[in-house]
Amino acid sequence: MVITIPLVLLLAVVVALLLRFKAVGAGAVVAVALFGFYLANTGAADTINDLVTAFTDAVPGVGR
């Protein structure tokens, strides 16, 4: 997957903005981050990567 680092940076910016504008609390951010961390260690990680790759391939101009 070519866009791994930019996607992570984009999501980090979104989370930072949500925290900055107090749309979510720090506890929610920690809970979601831990959920993502543990989800990456399951069998669902390959399916999620395939879905994100298919989406970015389908949207013109994203990832290339």
Residue 36 CA to its chain's centroid (Å): 8
- What is the predicted pLDDT for the residue at 46? 92
Cα separations (Å) of 52 from 14, 16, 35, 42, 47? 17, 22, 18, 16, 9
Q: What is the pLDDT of residues 22-61, one digit of tens each?
A: 999 999 999 988 888 888 889 999 998 899 889 888 887 6
Q: Which helix (H) or strand (E) holds 29?
A: helix 26-39
- Please report which residue ranges of the chain form alpha helices under DSSP H: 4-20, 26-39, 44-58
- Put simply, whether the predicted model's pTM sits higher than 0.85 gets the answer no
In the predicted model, is pLDDT for residue 3 greater than 60? no
- What is the predicted pLDDT for the residue at 26? 92
- What is the predicted pLDDT for the residue at 1? 52
